[in-house]
Structure 1
Amino acid sequence: MIISNMTMNEFTAGLEKTRTVLVPFGSTEEHGTHLPLDTDTLHASEVGRKLAEVRDIFIAPPIHYGVCRSTFNHPGTLSISTETLKVLTLDVVSALYRQGLRNFVLISGHAGGTHMATLTDAGEMLLQQYPDIKIAVLTEYMIAAKVGKELIETDGDSHAGEIETSRMLHSHPQLVKGTAEREFPDFPVGMLVRDKQKYWPGGVWGDPGKASAEKGAKLEKLVVQELNTFVDRMENWQE
């Protein structure tokens, strides 16, 4: 049940089937020279859409902005502050709660450490604010890396590399502009730097050359299966 496509009557009827909602978080962030800035959002939204095809679950409208610390200087990245992301998360979940939802899966296609820590912090606050909710914070990319590890050829593959490029070649091939060179960032250990692109010029973390649409299809299927199992456990979980 895609909330943005529903009428008010359809939403009300949906509450008779489930009180679980998946909220896709993404980013507007560089993904090399070959993938669109909306890659993270598209990943999270797509698995939500596919999950809604196999079970009763609400899928909230995606959030297209995230905290992008390492790519802050790269062309096209539109990063927001941790304060903004935290307040936005609190407000969105509170609005969904007022509408009757009680089980919340915050799934992020953007896996930045600061970004994920902010979502987790917001989730902890929400647990204290609403004693009758369940809330989970998941990284969509980390699920793909875990369940698809037998498919991935690149050690340490991450941002705009084999995994993400394969996913986009499958789900949105029209948005993939060729490929990019294998690359890993070279940030100085322990140092905070102003010119982050100096240490990560191409914006790729992995090897896009190893990507394929076939891998992407398999990865997407595995992620949806893993999410479906997770939601089953969440809905039946007692603290």
Structure 2
Amino acid sequence: MIIETMTMVEFEEGLRATRTVLVPFGSVEEHGSHLPLSTDTIQAYEVGKKAARLIPLFVAPPVHYGSCRSTSCHPGTISITTGTLKSLMKDIVRSLYQQGLRNVIILTGHAGGSHRMALQDAGEELLPELPELNIAVVTEYELAYHEGKSIIETEGDSHAGEIETSRIMHSHPDLVKGCAEREFPSFPPGLLVRNKRKYWPGGVWGDPSKASVEKGRLIEDLVVAKIVQLARTLEAFKE
């Protein structure tokens, strides 16, 4: 059940089938010279929509903005503060709760450390406030990397590399513009730097040349299966 396309009557009827909702979080962030700025959002939203075809599940409209630090100097990245991100997530979950939803999966396609921690902090703060809430915060990339280990050839592949290029080649092939070169960032250990692009010029963390449509399909299906499993776990969870 894709919330943005539903009427209020359909939403009300949907509550009879499930009280579970997935909220996709993404980013507007560079993904090399070959992938769209919305790559993170696309991946999380596609997984949610596919999961909703398999089980009763509400899928909220995606949040397109995230906290992006490592890529803040690259063209096209539009970042929000972690404070804004936390407030946004909490407001969305409070409203979903008010509408009758009780099991919430926050699925973030952006895996930046500060971004992920802000979402986890927001979830922790909501638990004592909303007594019937069950909530999970999961990173789409980490699910893809863990579940797709037998498929991925590039060790340490992460951002705009083999995994994400394969995913977009599968779901949105028209948005893939060629193939960027293999690259890994060279940030000095422990140091905070102003000019982040100096240490990561191409914005790729991995090897896009190893990507394929079939890998993208297989990895996406594995992530969808994990989300379905997580939804069922949340629905059965009691404290």
**Normalised-by-shorter TM-score class:** over 0.9
Tell me the distance in 1 between the aligned counterparts of 2:14 and 2:155.
Answer: 43
1:116 CA displacement? 0.2
Q: Report the residue type matching 1:41 in the other structure.
A: T
Q: Report the residue type matching 1:231 in the other structure.
A: A
Q: TM-score, normalised by structure 2?
A: 0.99
Q: Report the residue type matching 1:166 in the other structure.
A: S
User: After superposition, what is the alpha-carbon deviation per residue over 1:115-137, rounded to whole angstroms, capped at 9, x for unaligned?
Assistant: 00000000001101101100000
Q: Kindly, what percent of the aligned residue pairs are identical?
A: 63
Q: Report the residue type matching 2:131 in the other structure.
A: P
Asked if 1:175 is matched to 2:161, the reply is no
1:234 CA displacement? 1.4
Asked if 1:227 is matched to 2:216, the reply is no
Tell me the distance in 1 between the aligned counterparts of 2:128 and 2:30.
Answer: 35
In structure 1, the gaps of 5 or more residues are none
1:50 CA displacement? 0.3
1:15 CA displacement? 0.3
Tell me the distance in 2 between the aligned counterparts of 1:113 and 1:176.
Answer: 26
1:45 CA displacement? 0.3
Structure 2 SS opposite 1:128:
coil
Match of 1:115 in 2: 115
Tell me the distance in 2 between the aligned counterparts of 1:124 and 1:197.
Answer: 33
Tell me the distance in 2 between the aligned counterparts of 1:61 and 1:226.
Answer: 20
1:207 CA displacement? 0.2
1:76 CA displacement? 0.0
Structure 2 SS opposite 1:18:
coil
1:187 CA displacement? 0.3
Q: TM-score, normalised by structure 1?
A: 0.99
1:226 CA displacement? 1.2
Q: Report the residue type matching 1:44 in the other structure.
A: A
In structure 2, the gaps of 5 or more residues are none
Match of 1:188 in 2: 188
Match of 2:202 in 1: 202
Structure 2 SS opposite 1:36:
coil
Tell me the distance in 2 between the aligned counterparts of 1:218 and 1:109.
Answer: 17
Give the total of aligned pairs: 239
RMSD of Structure 2 on Structure 1 (CA): 0.5
Q: Report the residue type matching 2:11 in the other structure.
A: F
User: After superposition, what is the alpha-carbon deviation per residue over 1:135-164, rounded to whole angstroms, capped at 9, x for unaligned?
Assistant: 000001100111110000000000000000
Q: Report the residue type matching 1:23 in the other structure.
A: V
Dislocated runs of 4+, deviation >6 Å = none
User: After superposition, what is the alpha-carbon deviation per residue over 1:196-219, rounded to whole angstroms, capped at 9, x for unaligned?
Assistant: 000000000000000000100001
